[in-house]
Structure formats: C-alpha cells, structure tokens
Amino acid sequence: MESKHETSAPHFDPAPADPASAETFIAEKRIGERIRRLRLKRSMGLVELGRHTGLSASFLSQLETGRVVPTLRNLARISMVFGRDLAYFFEPEPHPLFRVHRRAERVRLPQSGVDDPTYYFESLAYMVPDRQLDPYFAEFVPGRKSAEIRPHVHPGYEFLYLLQGDLEIRHADRANTLEAGDSVYFDAATPHSYRCAGSAPAVALIVTMHQMTPQPAASPRPAPAPGPTPIRPPTASAPPPPETEP
C-alpha cells in the first residue's frame, strides 16, 4: 500500500547553480540510472515515456546516461508517470534485499480450524517485506485414512518438493501420490489438499507465488459459476494463515 505523502515540499538539497557542480551532483545521486530502472521495470520505451512527459526520447536518453542535467520540472514530470515523489531521486538508494532466517528463529504452526492437525508448517521468509513468493517447510503427519481432509484455495501458483516420506496431493478431482524427490507445480486457485500417505511423516518444501491465475480467453460459451472467494495473500508482519498455505 502506498504511503500518504505530506503536502509540504519534499526535503532535499537543490542542485547547485554552477553547471559543473550540478553535473557532479546529478552523477552522485545517480538520477539517470534511477530513471532508467523505473522505466525498464515498467517495460516502457523511451518514446513511450516521452509521450507521457512531453520530453523527447533523445533528451531522455541523454538524461539517463548523465549527459544532460535535468530540471526539477522535468524530474517532476517523470516522477508523476511512475507514481513517485520528487524526493525519490535525491534520497539515498535503498540497500538490496537480503534476509537470513535462522532455523532456531522459525515458528512451527499447526493447521488451523481443526482439532487434529494433519500438518505443521514454518515460514522461511516471514521477515521479508512485500514478498512476491512465500517459502515454507511443512511436515505432514500420519492420520486416520477415514479422516476428512479439507481442501483450500489461494491466488497464484504453488510448488512443492517432497524431501522425505510419501504424500498424497489432491487437485480438483485428481489425486497423485508423491515420493521423496518428486515435485509438483500447480494452479493454487483450484481446490487442493494433502494427506500423508505413509506410516512416517512426509516432509516438504513448499513455495507459493502470489501472481494471479491468468484468465482464459473470451469465449461465446456461458462463463462458469464463480469459485470460492480468494484468500488475501499473507503480509510480512506475521506468519500467514495456514489455510492460505500448505
């Protein structure tokens, strides 16, 4: 969620009036590189950015390579295209994301909503903000074969690699039994469930990805009835609800 900006002017040191000093200032702030990264992240060409800002593609190219010094007016036009505050170009650059999660710091959580859990899981990336995927260490425990296994759904896709044991996975009306070393990748918006298929616990590494399932192309046939309401992806502030994961 985007944070609300104050109405007052952003705080940063203005570029020096002397051209030579201004060029040094722009080079130190790596403004051209920041603009280029924003543009490429949007898969936007120089011509398209020019149409949005009213600046020529030639000028934008020189700006990105540091051969021209931008005015605050030009930077304001560019920042508006990418939804950034003008101060973005003058603030210290953020450090690349890198987080270590120690085994001793992980929290083991049971399946929720049931009296007799069939699995336990541990988030492997609970301290990563705005993450696009969620890795988990999961242990599926043996249970009664007659016990009902409740399927669940969540947006995006899921990858499971079985480290040890035997695991039955149901996806819609299909059932498959995995052995150690097997893996499966599937659409998580389809109801799916797991069951330990052996006398010993099954242990797996699971990664869920948050991108939404692509919608099928338009068809003249009637659209199917809507499925279950997707569960909101977990946030970085706390371990996610078990029902959105294994």
Which CATH number belongs to the domain containing residue 70 in this structure? 1.10.260.40
Instruction: Answer yes or no: do 79 and 125 share one domain.
Output: no
pLDDT in the model for residue 170: 95
Residue ranges with strand state E in 59-213: 109-110, 119-123, 133-140, 157-164, 166-171, 174-179, 183-187, 192-196, 202-209
* Residue 4: inside a domain: no
Same domain, 75 and 119: no
* Domain assignment present for 189: yes
Is residue 118 within 8 Å of 194, Cβ to Cβ? yes
* pLDDT digit string, tens, across residues 109-157: 998 878 888 999 999 998 887 788 899 999 999 987 667 788 889 889 9
Residue that wins the pLDDT comparison between 33 and 2: 33
Same domain? 129 vs 238: yes
Q: Give phi and psi for 23, each to the nearest 5.
A: -65, -40
Closest of 206, 68, 28, 201 to residue 125, by C-alpha: 206
Question: Does residue 192 form part of some domain?
Answer: yes
Same domain assignment for residues 127 and 236: yes
Q: pLDDT at position 201, please?
A: 96
Query: What band does 26 get if pLDDT is binned at 50, 70 and 90?
Result: low
Tell me the per-residue pLDDT of 38-92, one tens digit each, with 9 for 90 and over: 899 888 999 999 999 999 999 999 999 888 888 888 888 998 998 888 888 877 7
pLDDT at 212: 53
Instruction: Tell how strand 119-123 and strand 109-110 pair up.
Output: antiparallel
CA distances (Å), origin 23, targets 46, 62, 126, 196: 22, 13, 42, 64
Q: Is residue 226 part of a domain?
A: no
| Number of compact structural domains in the chain | 2
The confidence band for 21, taking pLDDT boundaries of 50, 70 and 90, is low
**Quick check: is 223 in a domain?**
no
53 within domain boundaries = yes
Partners of 204 in the β-ladder: 138, 162
Helix (H, G, I), strand (E, B) or coil at 30: coil
**37 and 138 together in one domain:** no
- Cut 0.95: pTM above it: no
CATH of the domain at 176: 2.60.120.10
- Higher-confidence residue of 216 and 67: namely 67
Are 128 and 184 contained in the same domain? yes
Amino acid in the structure at residue 46: L
In the predicted model, is pLDDT for residue 13 greater than 70?
no
What letter does residue 55 receive in the DSSP assignment? Answer: -
CA-to-CA distance for 120 and 108, rounded, in angstroms?
7
Domain match, 25 and 76 both: yes
Per-residue confidence (pLDDT) for residue 25, from 0 to 100: 57
108 and 189 in a single domain? The answer is yes
Q: Which of 30, 64, 89 is the last residue of a domain?
A: 89
Residue 82 lies in a domain: yes
pLDDT reading at 228 higher than 60: no
- Top mean pLDDT of 115-119, 232-236, 238-242 is at 115-119
* Residue 111: per-residue pLDDT: 87
Encoded amino acid at 200, one letter: A
Check whether 246 has a pLDDT greater than 90: no
Average pLDDT value over all residues in the chain:
78
Last residue of a domain, one of 63, 89, 115: 89
Task: Say yes or no: 78 and 32 in one domain.
Answer: yes
What's the domain range around 196?
Answer: 103-214+232-244
Q: What is the pLDDT of residue 66?
A: 83
Q: Please tell me the predicted confidence (pLDDT) of residue 240.
A: 45
- Top pLDDT among 41 and 27 is at 41
For residue 136, is it within any domain? yes
Mark which of 89, 112, 144 sits at the end of a domain: 89
How far is the C-alpha of 58 from the C-alpha of 234, rounded, in Å? 43
Residues 140 and 239 in one domain: yes
Least confident of 162-166, 167-171, 205-209, 241-245: 241-245
For residues 126 and 81, membership in a common domain is answered with no
pLDDT band with cut points at 50, 70 and 90 for residue 242: very low
Determine the 3-state secondary structure of 153 from DSSP: coil
Q: Are residues 66 and 172 in the same domain?
A: no
More confident residue, 166 or 91: 166
The neighbour count for residue 93, using CB atoms within 10 Å, is 11
List, in order, residues 6 or more apart from 245 with CB less than 8 Å away: 121, 134, 136, 154, 206, 208, 234
